[in-house]
Amino acid sequence: MKVIILILIALSLGTFALWGEETPSAQDIANSAAAAAYYQDKDGRALVSMTITDSRGRERSRELVILRRDVGEDLGDQQFYVFFKAPADVSETAFLVWKHPQADDDRWLYLPALDLVRRIAASDERTSFVGSHFFYEDVSGRSPMEDNHELIAVTEHYFELKSTPKIPDSVEFEYFKSWIHKPSGISVKTEFYNSKDEVYRVYEALGVETIDGYSTVTKAKMTDSDRGGSTVLTYSNVAYGMGLEESMFAERYLRNPPTEFLEF
């Protein structure tokens, strides 16, 4: 935590904070965190290295590309395309999301070994994303409108939020706490609590860089004490404003990927 604080302080030097002297509302803070995590520019691309460590310390590595395109304005609809490059057993697996903050997202997963496109139900959003400790919902982000937010602490560098789901039966957690960096809006840590008021799942931003003028998380970790182990995502070759076309985010591209945007 201390390391990420120093990184964010350095990135903030010479820039203006998102907020003035007046403390913003909890909803505005949650919105800014969603914008910083998922809405930088109109589109983006990143090469991602995924390292999954199980409860016995055994590691598996995967490499994937994430493409993202905004459709609406102000935390509106988005489209995500995720393509796995390695290892061989998951190579050419593809995942497509049409994100709808005001309704259930549409999600499809292409399994090349079976040549099968599988629709992912809304009830499966908070299940493991291809064997990792991240959930399907984590890939495209949880809408800040799905929770009630409470500002429970303000420090020199952070806002601390407590967020409770508006529809409790739709998720497995009781609530979560987030630490939002004031100048950048980046959530550096999120703790999920169960019905016993115990932390069982923790997200951490381990690295942040300024890319194309945007503060960007370049390394993140999800730890799950119920399942055991953790998953680390390392982002490289990040780029924004690429002019990605809507046609690339159609179901037919799950079997026929847009290779010109997947090679580095």
Q: What is the pLDDT of residues 155-167, one digit of tens each?
A: 999 999 999 999 9
Q: Which of these, 206, 216, 208, 144, lies nearest to 176 by C-alpha position?
A: 144
β-pairing, 94-99 with 78-86?
antiparallel
Q: Give the count of alpha carbons within 13 A of 254, CB side only.
A: 21
Q: What is the pLDDT of residues 106-133, one digit of tens each?
A: 999 999 999 999 999 988 999 999 999 9
- β-strand partners of 108: 96, 119
Place of tokens 């909890």: 26
Number of domains in the chain: 1
pLDDT recorded at residue 161: 98
Model confidence, pTM: 0.91
If the chain, 264 residues long, is cut into consecutive pieces of 10 residues, what is the mean pLDDT of each piece? 49 48 92 96 97 97 98 93 96 96 94 95 92 96 97 97 96 98 96 98 97 97 98 98 94 93 88
CATH number for 250: 2.50.20.10
Place of tokens 């589109």: 43
Give the CA radius of gyration of the chain. Answer: 18
pLDDT recorded at residue 264: 83
**Rounded-to-integer distance, Cα 168 and Cα 235, Å:** 32
**Rounded-to-integer distance, Cα 68 and Cα 240, Å:** 9
**Rounded-to-integer distance, Cα 14 and Cα 29, Å:** 22
**Rounded-to-integer distance, Cα 220 and Cα 260, Å:** 27
**Rounded-to-integer distance, Cα 139 and Cα 97, Å:** 9
pLDDT recorded at residue 8: 53
Tell me if 101 sits within 8 A of 143, measured CB to CB.
yes
pLDDT recorded at residue 12: 46
pLDDT recorded at residue 16: 39
pLDDT recorded at residue 69: 97
Q: Reduce the secondary structure of the chain to three states and give it as a string.
A: CHHHHHHHHHHHCCCCCCCCCCCCCHHHHHHHHHHHHHCCCCEEEEEEEEEEECCCCCEEEEEEEEEEEECCCCCCCEEEEEEEEECCCCCCCEEEEEECCCCCCEEEEEECCCCEEEEECHHHCCCECCCCCCEHHHHHCCCHHHEEEEEEEECCCEEEEEEEECCHHHCCCCEEEEEEECCCCCEEEEEEECCCCCEEEEEEEEEEEEECCEEEEEEEEEEECCCCCEEEEEEEEEEECCCCCHHHHCHHHHCCCCHHHCCC
- Residue-range definition of the domain harbouring residue 145: 2-261
